[in-house]
């Protein structure tokens, strides 16, 4: 992978990270708003709100995990191991990296993993 390729993917990853952090912050402030609203509501309303809140928090956890993946990809760019499949050591295809810049596995290994055949 050339230097300009790496810069390109680094930029993609940084943009994605900013976007994710933004979502997490919004989710957190939404959760807090719902907390203060909940105090003024009766039980039934409170139950449905708390369900919505759980959903928002699980969403925010998902975003958090994504941030970790993106950060790990940025580390790999630093270390020079970016774009190499962590399982088989083959190059991860450029097309795959374009779609999923934080991909750890090549397409073949990812398929094996999804079908449960990768340890
Ligand atoms: Zn692989």
Q: Provide mean pLDDT across the span 7-19.
A: 97
CA of 98 to the centre of ligand 1 (A): 17
Q: Single out the residue of 3, 11, 2 nearest to residue 73, CA to CA.
A: 11
- pLDDT tens across 47-104, in order? 777 777 777 777 778 888 999 999 999 999 999 999 999 999 999 999 999 999 999 9
CA of 28 to the centre of ligand 1 (A): 36
Q: Which CATH class is domain 3-82?
A: mainly alpha
CA of 1 to the centre of ligand 1 (A): 16
CA of 95 to the centre of ligand 1 (A): 14
Domain segments of the chain: what residues?
Answer: 3-82, 83-119
CA of 10 to the centre of ligand 1 (A): 21
In degrees rounded to 5, what are phi and psi of residue 76?
Answer: -65, -30
- pLDDT tens across 14-56, in order? 999 999 999 888 888 877 887 777 777 776 777 777 777 777 7
The b/e string for 55-87 (b: 16+ C-beta within 10 A; e otherwise) is: ebeeebeebeebbebbeebbebbeeeebbbbeb
């Amino acid at each position: 992978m050339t230097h300009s390729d790496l810069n390109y993917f680094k930029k993609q990853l940084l943009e994605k990270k900013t976007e994710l952090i933004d979502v997490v912050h919004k989710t957190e402030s939404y959760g807090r708003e719902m907390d203060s609203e909940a105090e003024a509501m009766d039980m039934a309303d409170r139950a449905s709100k708390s369900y919505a809140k759980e959903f928002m928090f699980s969403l925010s956890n998902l975003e958090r995990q994504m941030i970790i993946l993106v950060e790990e990809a940025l580390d790999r760019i630093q270390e020079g191991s970016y774009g190499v499949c962590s399982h088989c050591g083959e190059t991860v295809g450029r097309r795959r990296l374009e779609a999923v810049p934080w991909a750890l596995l090549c397409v073949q290994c990812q398929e094996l993993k999804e079908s449960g055949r990768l340890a």
